[in-house]
Amino acid sequence: MTIKPLIILPDPVLRQVSTPIETIDDDVRRLADDMLETMYDAPGIGLAAIQIGVPRRLLVLDVTKEGEEKKPLVFINPKIVRSSDDRSVYEEGCLSIPDYYAEVQRPAGITVEYLDRDGKEQSIEADGLLATCLQHEIDHLNGVLFIDHISKLKRDMVIRKFTKAAKVRGAKAI
């Protein structure tokens, strides 16, 4: 397994819509393993393939608390098929937008259909942190960032801050 470099705002790669995975093979499983290692190293609780520059519909999660046994989850071609009318608010952060957090309102419960690492069709009902994390990572697969769910004023401030930092690093901007 290999720790991959993270794509950081304002890199335009983060706005790409990821393509479905047609065949689940050893390369896809290796990518998932690399993503898990990258996520744990960061440290984070979720990572979409696009965040390491791979525009494929793959995400990994582990929402266990510190000190608990790890329970890594791999979602290939995930799709939200049901969202509750109830809403919840969580303070979200993102490995691609380091050290910035904001409260985001999303559906409190969702149902997601996906393929597991063996290519078997699965469905999961999620609420709480798992539902929030799944929605956050699926947004990444659609070129959407959590800052797109906050006010335009706050979003513009964050983008300006990261664009300025990118210029200092000599990185690409959106």
The domains of the chain are located at: 12-169
**Predicted structure pTM score:** 0.94
Question: What pLDDT, on the 0 to 100 scale, is given for residue 1?
Answer: 78
Of 91, 92, 125, 137, the active-site residue reads 137
pLDDT of the residue at 168 = 85
Q: Does the annotation flag 94 for ligand binding?
A: yes
What CATH number should be reported for the domain whose range is 12-169? 3.90.45.10
pLDDT for position 124: 98
- Round to whole Å and give the CA distance between 167 and 143: 22
Q: Give the CA count within 13 Å in the CB-facing half-sphere of 19.
A: 6
149 annotated as belonging to a binding site for a ligand? no
Task: Render each residue's pLDDT in the chain as its tens digit; 174 residues.
Answer: 799 999 999 999 999 999 999 999 999 999 999 999 999 999 999 999 999 999 999 999 999 998 899 999 999 999 999 999 999 999 999 999 999 999 999 999 999 999 999 999 999 999 999 999 999 999 999 999 999 999 999 999 999 999 998 888 775 555
Enumerate long-range contacts of 159-167, CB under 8 Å, 24 or more apart: 159/9, 159/10, 161/100, 162/8, 162/9, 162/10, 162/97, 163/10, 166/8, 166/9, 166/10, 166/11
Annotation says 92 is catalytic: no
Q: Note the pLDDT of residue 75.
A: 98
pLDDT, residue 169, reads 73
Phi/psi for 87 (5° steps) reads -115, 155
Give how far Cα 81 sits from Cα of 56, 84, 86, 114, Å: 19, 10, 16, 10
